[in-house]
Amino acid sequence: MLLAITGFVMIGLLMFFLLKGKAIPMTLFVVLPILGAVINGYGLTDIAGFIKDGVSTTWSMAALFVFVVTYFGIMTDVGMFDKLVQKLIRIADGHVLGIFLVVVLIATLGHLDGNSPTTYLIAIPALLPLCKKLNIRISAIMAVCCSVITVMNLVPWGGVLNRQSVTLAMDSGLLWRAYLPMQIFGWFCCVGLAVVMSRIEVRRGAGKVAVLAAGESAEAAADPEVLALQRPKLLWYNVILTVAVFVLLFKTSLPNYSIFMMGCVLALAVNYPSPKDQEARLAAHAPKVISLVATVLSAGVMVGVLNNTGMIVAMAELIIHILPDFLCAHLHLVFAFFGGFIGLAVSPDPLYYGILPVLIEVCSQYGIPVQSVAIAFGIGADSCFTLAPVIASTYLGLAVSGLSLKEHMRFSFFPLWIVGLLMIAFGCVMGYIVI
């Protein structure tokens, strides 16, 4: 009982302080779980083990952040995106809807591998300068991008079905066939969200690009210090290097961080041959890198404590225990409805290896098919996972978009949650999910 109550209080405090902006994530990720573990009688040796296990799941993402942020910072410095942005502006010609539909398409293709970091890297950095030019809020672009990620995450090799197939002892391909109608419907919901967001942005004045005076070039209007860093003669080298980086991301089994590590080395060596200039570029991007890495590594503390203490399972069992019978008969729908909130606080492994088996056991007593439980819970919990503070890839999205966690959660939670609920409602109406 104490373990479950501690978990609820800990997660409640985490969300409260994050949304109110009363503390930085790193502080909360370290202080709250350690206090929670101490309250439940765990000693320093146990807590040290929890931290070690948790950080072991996030360190590779932290390493990726170091080189991703640095790499795209260098590409911005050399002006690689400028020509692309100018071309996209001419193509877009103020058509905001076209930009949002491009986001849907890019995110769909980018997430075919079920890898959120890759999708963020493909969809966001190139569009960020364009959004600034067209006065489109990047938070709106991220909301649409994340909605597509959640829908495309339901592929057989994605995190949801991979974990559920283990829990259900079922082939992920067969499970995907059951998900597919909701996934297709969800994708069209994402298109609808893109249309809605584009109209909101147009009403805010998006699409109106300031025109430079006759004969005045963008280069002439730029800051001299910015111009000094640009390398227009090396444009094709930097484009080819960036394409090569993405090809390696898709086509090799090399760790993502190692690919961007090599990309950073090659970018610095050619664009800024002087060691002094290279150090200056690294120093310029270091502040953002340090903040992100510290946050991701500290998130591992939260993950380690939640997983190793059994806190997540205890919380699920308490909910089930206190609910009345008429709700227990539809418990899969209850968890589906609140899945967006659950997915914010719980990392995927305890969701599908800890909570889902308990949920299946209870629902089976009321004749609810296992597959219906898995689908309802999977869609619900998946709907807002791109906002979860306990998932490392969230911070990659924040890094490339320049948003804070608070901004991202406040803007995107309800659109993403509603897309998930629509998918669940569609499944219920069409009979794919037993009510």
Indicate whether 40 and 66 sit together in one domain. no
Question: What is the Cα–Cα distance from 64 to 258, expressed in whole angstroms?
Answer: 8
Instruction: Give the pLDDT confidence score for residue 28 in this predicted structure.
Output: 87
Where does 230-274 have alpha helices with state H? 235-251, 256-271
Question: What is the Cα–Cα distance from 122 to 400, expressed in whole angstroms?
Answer: 10
pLDDT band for position 187 (cuts 50, 70, 90): very high
Terminus-to-terminus CA distance in the chain, angstroms?
30
Listed residues 279, 294, 309: the one ending a domain? 294
For residue 355, is pLDDT > 50?
A: yes
DSSP for residue 23: S
118-127, 155-164, 221-230, 297-306: segment of lowest average pLDDT: 221-230
> Is the residue at 159 inside a domain?
no
180-189, 197-206, 209-218, 225-234: segment of lowest average pLDDT: 209-218
> Is the residue at 435 inside a domain?
no
How do residues 270-296 score in pLDDT, each as one tens digit?
A: 999 999 999 999 998 888 788 778 887
Indicate whether 267 and 367 sit together in one domain. no
Gyration radius of the chain's alpha carbons: 23
Among 62-76, 108-122, 179-193, 230-244, the range of highest mean pLDDT? 179-193
Indicate whether 38 and 94 sit together in one domain. no
53-57, 75-79, 154-158: segment of lowest average pLDDT: 154-158
Q: Match 């690689």 to its residue by tokens.
A: 80
Indicate whether 127 and 254 sit together in one domain. yes
> Is the residue at 133 inside a domain?
yes
Among 106-110, 166-170, 239-243, the range of highest mean pLDDT? 239-243
Instruction: Give the pLDDT confidence score for residue 216 in this predicted structure.
Output: 38
Query: With a threshold of 0.75, does the pTM exceed it?
Result: no
> Is the residue at 161 inside a domain?
no
Question: What is the Cα–Cα distance from 372 to 366, expressed in whole angstroms?
Answer: 12
For residue 208, is pLDDT > 70?
A: no
For residue 138, is pLDDT > 50?
A: yes
For residue 237, is pLDDT > 90?
A: yes
Instruction: Give the pLDDT confidence score for residue 40 in this predicted structure.
Output: 93
Indicate whether 248 and 175 sit together in one domain. yes
Question: What is the Cα–Cα distance from 228 to 205, expressed in whole angstroms?
Answer: 33
Contact 240, 248 (CB under 8 A): no
> Which of residues 423 and 170 earns the better pLDDT score?
423
Question: What is the Cα–Cα distance from 88 to 218, expressed in whole angstroms?
Answer: 15
Indicate whether 180 and 32 sit together in one domain. no
156-170, 254-268, 328-342: segment of lowest average pLDDT: 156-170
Listed residues 261, 294, 327: the one ending a domain? 294
Instruction: Give the pLDDT confidence score for residue 196 in this predicted structure.
Output: 96
Indicate whether 138 and 249 sit together in one domain. yes
Q: Averaged over 255-260, what is the pLDDT?
A: 86
For residue 209, is pLDDT > 70?
A: no
Task: Provide the domain limits for residue 150.
Answer: 59-154+169-294
Q: Averaged over 183-194, what is the pLDDT?
A: 96
Indicate whether 408 and 270 sit together in one domain. no
> Is the residue at 163 inside a domain?
no
Q: Residue 324: exposed, middle, or buried by beta-carbon count in 10 A (0-12, 13-18, 19+)? A: exposed
How do residues 69-97 score in pLDDT, each as one tens digit?
A: 888 888 878 888 676 656 665 665 668 88
**Average pLDDT score over the chain:** 84
Indicate whether 94 and 125 sit together in one domain. yes
How do residues 363-409 score in pLDDT, each as one tens digit?
A: 887 888 989 999 999 999 999 989 988 787 888 899 889 898 889 99
Indicate whether 290 and 305 sit together in one domain. no
Task: Please give the tally of structural domains in the chain.
Answer: 2
Instruction: Give the pLDDT confidence score for residue 146 in this predicted structure.
Output: 95
Instruction: Give the pLDDT confidence score for residue 211 in this predicted structure.
Output: 40
For residue 217, is pLDDT > 60?
A: no
DSSP for residue 352: I
8, 20, 42, 307, 394 from 15: Cα distances, Å: 11, 8, 24, 19, 15
Instruction: Give the pLDDT confidence score for residue 275 in this predicted structure.
Output: 93
Question: What is the Cα–Cα distance from 352 to 381, expressed in whole angstroms?
Answer: 10
Indicate whether 96 and 12 sit together in one domain. no
Instruction: Give the pLDDT confidence score for residue 220 in this predicted structure.
Output: 41
Indicate whether 90 and 232 sit together in one domain. yes
Contact 416, 341 (CB under 8 A): no
pLDDT band for position 50 (cuts 50, 70, 90): very high
> Which of residues 60 and 245 earns the better pLDDT score?
245
